[in-house]
Structure 1
Amino acid sequence: MKKLYSLKDTEKFTIDEVWDMYRKYVNNSQVDLISKFGFGNDIAIKAEKNFIFTKSGKKIYDFTGGIGVLNHGHNHERILRIRQWFQKNKFMEVHKNYFSPYIAALSSNIANLLPEDLNISYFSNSGSDANEGAIKLAYKYHEGKRDYILSSNISFHGKKLVTSNVTNSKETRYFQFQELVKSDNFEFNNFNSLKDKILTLKKNGICNVYAVILEPFSASSLLSLSEEFLRKTRDLCDENEIVLIFDEVYSGWGKTGNLFYFMNYEGLIPDILTSGKSLGGGKASISAYTCRDKFFKKAYDNLRDATLHSTTFNGLGEETATAMEAINIIIEENFVENSKNIYEFLNSGLKKLQKKYPKIIKDVRGSGALNGVVINTNFSDKYLQPIISLIPSKFTRDEYAIKKIIVSSYISQLYDKYNILTFYGSNIDLPLKISCPLNIEKENLDYFLRSFEKLLEEGTISVLKKFIKKNIF
């Protein structure tokens, strides 16, 4: 019998052994891609707050925010305690024949925090699951009599087959998967573009759109929909009885300066809200869609359809208990206010750097604790162009390859020189994103700004040369 590893065995793995197993059993190309960076050559052994500790002894400043998961930081003490309490008492995880007090309490807590009648919640595992559940409910609400769902031209709603049909970011839409739902898109933040689509899509003279799905704040591009756009869209959906879905999987739970971004605008309510990522406190894989009473009642609240949307791990006990504690921490530890303070300090610091280095920083974007910069990738620079021309063609087949290489060079140098972990957004502008937990200390934000400024002083040519020399030649 071949070797079966234990958790203790993994503590002894070298990075070469991990690479080898990834190449054989996970994804060979991931090794080729991620090993180009310093973090792809390290093994993380511990994490706490906004720090990651590696096997080689490094203390890494994590400014990825766990790609939206770590609003509470790594291993928040209260999250750990609640999970340990659940395990110690051997509470029941899942059983479909018994009502779950954890699902009941978590649903109640969410309803009590959201405006008006956003009352009914369903819990799944990923943001993509939540969005798919929301789309399914909207379709069922119209009894299958309408055909289309609309999303923006830079949207990101997930990578499953259904959600990929409403994800239009060019960075992820280069391969066209089978269309499982009929979808169309409109120009981001252009109300007339949306209105024209709705007026065009008719069947027998009646509106043929059952849902519009929006990201009030686009985490991949760091752009927001205007209040005017959102309010006009709300009115347009009401006029045409279209279900309005707000996807706040990434931007929600305090990340962007309010409990949810849409709550910046009084009286603006979606019909369905999706959330996830940090809902699990950095330890639980849980997401949710929450809808207004009338939409749920028409779609599912009858004996025939009561279990039409269900999953095996819906509302897993420890996951829902963790989510309850995660929400209580957000409220009790003033995460929303913290998020606003992070924005004031970090975003203003980035704008100061933009004024000092306008040829490098093209734009500064963000909201709350999710911020970033768009690096200038204009290749006409007489000094930059010769360096770009040295890159072998196999690395530049992707139309965004040069942008990725330039932004990646900054990500690489931040890690190698300053132990700072960052990433870029999966959208055409590829912003270098700076995302942090909502309990981060100000001194760590200051460390990032000072370190980033040192790289900017070197300039793109110097940073890019080091990255190309290390990884391509």
Structure 2
Amino acid sequence: MSATVGRSDFDRVMVPNYAPVNMVPVRGAGSRLWDQQDREYVDLAGGIAVNALGHAHPAMIEALNEQAHKLWHVSNIMTNEPALRLADKLVRATFAERVFFANSGAEANEAAFKLARRWGHNTCGAQKHQIIACTNSFHGRSLFTVSVGGQPKYSEGFGPAMGGISHVPYQDIAALEAAISDDTCAVVLEPVQGEGGVIPASTEYLRAVRALCDKHHALLVFDEVQSGMGRTGKLFAYMQSGVVPDILTSAKSLGGGFPISAMLTTAAIAEHFVVGTHGSTYGGNPLACAVAERVLDIVNTPAVLDGVQQRHETIRAELEQMGTEFGVFSSVRGSGLLLGAVMSDTFKGRAKDVQALAQEEGVLVLQAGPDVVRLAPSLIIEQEDIAEGMTRLRAALRRMVG
């Protein structure tokens, strides 16, 4: 298949903040992708946990086409029907009473952190601005969100870090108890740390965090950008533990590949964002909301959510078998269809090699740091695609161990 542009053009025309792999995908269907040479891949990466319904799902295409013939953009000077319908469905399906729409996970988290600080300022005074987050967390790439994220490699070199932010180890309740105070406005957590290594928080830990937040009159913010929208087998991961946050952020799978994000909260907290305090030109875009509404309608069903857990068990068993067979993985962790295969001591630091060899064998996987191979496929990936993907990944591991 001929192409007028290719991977080499990236280095010629794009800012070099990414290092794309050496193939360029041009077409997708379900959990399969094809590149410029018409080579097929089984997609177990899911656009980094974005393509909840795979590629080119007919219901999403239909929703986009219908809305494209009606209304594309009106700005936040006025509202629109798709945004109101989607917000209503999110409120009905969750703890939330109010919704703010933006375009990316970073923007949803930016809104959440700003709201938490405005809430603290209005309820207790300017001193109530401390935000506590976890080391190895990831909350986005804006200056505020990289400051809250506990990974210095993303914030170093951009000038002074934003103040009033503290970090404690994930799942260390004693460390949080020592750090939190009445000046804390919010504790920010990923119920499943994604970029930090695919690590689910225990229910006991989340309950203890909730109790500390209540004790110190602080908000609990759950970043569910990666874990939300059915990824764990529940619509949102907080539903697994029953620990309800005050603010929740969603993106990635929310649009199934169309850029959209949301911040969900209660009416009492939302009222601190009065007119003019925050906004987004494209937030609540009719096209994005129409697609996301259709995704939500499909994902938030017993058939899809129960199927996530069934697929989890199949894939986890395969990965554990590969760990035994090749000695490459020491354990497999995660929740639902967000799985992490931890590299054994012998192969420590070589998750990137697995990713590269897997691509050569025709299957796409991800990393979560140097020591974890991450899988985040479509929530409705077919069994035959799982089987073929596992066969190709096994071939890659066989090559790796020689």
Indicate the TM-score class for this superposition, using the shorter chain for normalisation. Answer: over 0.9
Q: Shift of the alpha carbon at 1:255?
A: 0.7
Larger CA Rg, structure 1 vs 2: 1
Which deviations, in whole Å up to 9, do the C-alpha atoms of 1:344-368 show, x marking residues without a partner? 11112212222333x3212211211
Cα gap change, 1:72 to 1:137, in 2 (>3 Å): same
Structure 2: unaligned runs, 5 residues or longer:
none
Which residue of structure 2 lines up, in the alignment, with residue 24 of structure 1?
12
AA aligned to 1:285 is P
Correspondence 1:128-147 to 2 at 5 A: 128-143=106-121, 144-147=126-129
Cα gap change, 1:153 to 1:339, in 2 (>3 Å): same
Which deviations, in whole Å up to 9, do the C-alpha atoms of 1:237-275 show, x marking residues without a partner? 011110110000011000122111110123x21000000
Q: CA RMSD in A?
A: 2.1
Cα gap change, 1:446 to 1:96, in 2 (>3 Å): closer
Match of 2:39 among 40, 52, 58: 58
- Contact conserved, 2:112 with 2:247, CA < 8 A, in 1? yes
User: Distance between the aligned counterparts of 2:396 and 2:11, measured in 1?
Assistant: 33
Helix, strand or coil at the partner of 1:306: coil
Which residue of structure 2 lines up, in the alignment, with residue 250 of structure 1?
226
* Aligned: 1:312 with 2:281: yes
**TM-score, reference length from structure 1:** 0.79
Structure 1: unaligned runs, 5 residues or longer:
1-10, 200-206, 380-401, 463-473
User: Distance between the aligned counterparts of 2:241 and 2:344, measured in 1?
Assistant: 33
User: Distance between the aligned counterparts of 2:16 and 2:87, measured in 1?
Assistant: 41
Which residue of structure 1 lines up, in the alignment, with residue 130 of structure 2?
148
Match of 1:103 among 83, 91, 107: 83
Helix, strand or coil at the partner of 1:334: helix
Correspondence 1:375-390 to 2 at 5 A: 375-378=343-346
AA aligned to 2:15 is N
Cα gap change, 1:177 to 1:50, in 2 (>3 Å): farther
Helix, strand or coil at the partner of 2:180: helix
Q: Shift of the alpha carbon at 1:333?
A: 7.4
Match of 1:433 among 367, 374, 394: 374
* Aligned: 1:321 with 2:265: no
Which residue of structure 2 lines up, in the alignment, with residue 419 of structure 1?
362
Which residue of structure 1 lines up, in the alignment, with residue 236 of structure 2?
260
AA aligned to 2:26 is I
Q: Shift of the alpha carbon at 1:56?
A: 0.9
User: Distance between the aligned counterparts of 1:277 and 1:456, measured in 2?
Assistant: 29
Match of 2:352 among 408, 417, 420: 408
Q: Shift of the alpha carbon at 1:321?
A: 1.2
Question: Which range is displaced more, 429-438 or 217-226?
Answer: 429-438
- Contact conserved, 2:308 with 2:379, CA < 8 A, in 1? yes
AA aligned to 1:269 is V
- Contact conserved, 2:354 with 2:397, CA < 8 A, in 1? no
Give the paired residue count: 397
User: Distance between the aligned counterparts of 1:101 and 1:453, measured in 2?
Assistant: 48
Q: Shift of the alpha carbon at 1:373?
A: 1.0
- Contact conserved, 1:364 with 1:374, CA < 8 A, in 2? yes
User: Distance between the aligned counterparts of 1:170 and 1:87, measured in 2?
Assistant: 42
User: Distance between the aligned counterparts of 1:166 and 1:28, measured in 2?
Assistant: 25
Alignment identity in percent?
24
Q: Shift of the alpha carbon at 1:169?
A: 2.9
Cα gap change, 1:120 to 1:449, in 2 (>3 Å): same
* Aligned: 1:340 with 2:309: yes
Which residue of structure 1 lines up, in the alignment, with residue 51 of structure 2?
70
Which residue of structure 2 lines up, in the alignment, with residue 203 of structure 1?
none
Q: Shift of the alpha carbon at 1:29?
A: 6.8
AA aligned to 2:214 is D
Which deviations, in whole Å up to 9, do the C-alpha atoms of 1:359-397 show, x marking residues without a partner? 321221121111121222548xxxxxxxxxxxxxxxxxx
User: Distance between the aligned counterparts of 2:153 and 2:305, measured in 1?
Assistant: 31
- Contact conserved, 2:251 with 2:261, CA < 8 A, in 1? yes
- Contact conserved, 1:165 with 1:177, CA < 8 A, in 2? no
AA aligned to 1:120 is R
Which residue of structure 1 lines up, in the alignment, with residue 209 of structure 2?
233
Correspondence 1:116-131 to 2 at 5 A: 118-131=96-109
